[in-house]
Amino acid sequence: MKLINLADTAQALVSNGKGILAADETVPTLTKRFDAHKIESTPDSRRTYREMFFTTPGIGEFISGVILQDETIHQKSSQRVAMADVLSQQGILPGIKVDNGAKPLAGSSEEKITEGLDGLRERLKEYYKLGARFAKWRAVITVSDLLPSINCIHVNANALARYAALCQEQDIVPIIEPEVLMDGSHTIERCEEITSAVLHAVFNALFDQKIYFEGMLLKPNMIISGKECLKQASIEEVAAATLRVLRRFVPPAVPGMVFLSGGQDHLSATGHLNAINQSEGPKPWKLSFSYGRALQDEALKAWNGKDENLKIGQQAFFHRAKCDNAAALGRYVKAMENESAKI
Per-residue x/- marks for ligand 13P, 156-185, CB under 6 A?
---------------------x--------
Strands (E) across 197-239 are located at 217-218
- Three-class DSSP category at 305: coil
Query: Judged by CB under 6 A, does residue 94 bind ligand 13P?
Result: no
Task: Compute the distance between CA of residue 289 and CA of residue 291 in angstroms, rounded to an integer.
Answer: 6
Active site residues: 177, 219
Per-residue x/- marks for ligand 13P, 261-300, CB under 6 A?
xx----------------------------xxxx------
Residue 140 and residue 114 in contact, taking contact as beta carbons nearer than 8 Å: yes
Query: Judged by CB under 6 A, does residue 257 bind ligand 13P?
Result: no
Query: Judged by CB under 6 A, does residue 70 bind ligand 13P?
Result: no
- Least Å distance, CB 153 to ligand 13P, is 18
Query: Judged by CB under 6 A, does residue 68 bind ligand 13P?
Result: no
Burial annotation 201-218 (CB, 10 A radius, 16+ → b, else e): bbbebbeebebbbbbbbb
Query: Judged by CB under 6 A, does residue 69 bind ligand 13P?
Result: no
Among 7, 10, 22, 132, binds ligand 13P (CB under 6 A): 22
Tell me whether residue 60 is exposed, middle or buried, using C-beta atoms within 10 angstroms of its C-beta: 0 to 12, 13 to 18, 19 or more.
middle
Question: How far does CA 77 lie from the centroid of its chain?
Answer: 23
Per-residue x/- marks for ligand 13P, 191-230, CB under 6 A?
----------------------------------------
Residue 212 and residue 250 in contact, taking contact as beta carbons nearer than 8 Å: no
Question: How far does CA 104 lie from the centroid of its chain?
Answer: 22
For residue 217, list its beta bridge partners.
175
- Least Å distance, CB 24 to ligand 13P, is 6
- Contact positions toward ligand 13P, by CB under 6 A? 22, 138, 177, 260-262, 291-294
